[in-house]
Amino acid sequence: MLKVIDVGLMANHLSAHKGAIKRFELYSNLTKNPNLLTILGQQIGMMQNHVQVMNMLLDPNHTNQVTLQPVPQVTSQLNQNSVAIDIEIEDRDMAFDSHFTATSMANDNFISSTNMKNPQVKRIHSEMALQQSQIAKQYEMFAEQMGWMDHPIATSIQQQGAMSPLQNQTFNPLHQNGKQAQMNTQNSQRIQ
């Protein structure tokens, strides 16, 4: 049987997945870019796998080992027969929203896994985090290819300015141990 915290975290994840999948399906009908459509298809398939796995983990009658399927490889076709939907959203907006969602879910899965108690649930949520991170990276590469995202390279001066101010300080463990020994001596004298 699962701990309450594991059940609660997965229940929250399932609710979030349902809405996100519907949003990505809408984006799939709206996009005109086949590369974006492919990533959306992978994300939808991956999240459907996640839902299936979480339901298996939650099922008290399911006693077999649960494994997470890899991110599906999707080759999507643009929907030529789609109904015209009057939503003013561009591929760029859909890509950034989907990237943000994948990144957020990766972080949420990772943090959740650190709080989960069941080893199998913990491991699978760590794997889910890695898969979401992989999808986020695909959106990032797509946005870079489209010229929508650029990560400027820091100058040497900026890098040096960010270096830890403790870098040039010397750390003397003997000095620290000496203080600790002095404090221990003072504490033992108070006790006597």
| pLDDT digit string, tens, across residues 63-111 | 889 999 999 998 766 665 555 566 789 999 999 999 999 999 999 999 9
HEC string of 43-56? Answer: HHHHHHHHHHHHHH
| Cβ atoms of residues 123 and 112 within 8 Å | no
Q: Is the pLDDT of residue 28 over 90?
A: yes
Structure tokens at 44: 């939808």
The CATH number for 4-146, chosen from 3.30.70.100, 1.10.8.50, 1.20.1260.10, 3.30.70.360, is 1.20.1260.10
Measured CA to CA, the distance from residue 49 to residue 142 in angstroms comes to: 23
pLDDT value of residue 23: 96
Q: Is the pLDDT of residue 186 over 70?
A: no
Q: Is the pLDDT of residue 182 over 80?
A: no
Give me the residue spans of the domains in the chain.
4-146
State the pLDDT confidence band at 58, using cuts at 50, 70 and 90.
Answer: very high
Q: Is the pLDDT of residue 181 over 70?
A: no
State the pLDDT confidence band at 185, using cuts at 50, 70 and 90.
Answer: low
Measured CA to CA, the distance from residue 62 to residue 74 in angstroms comes to: 29
| Cβ atoms of residues 41 and 78 within 8 Å | no
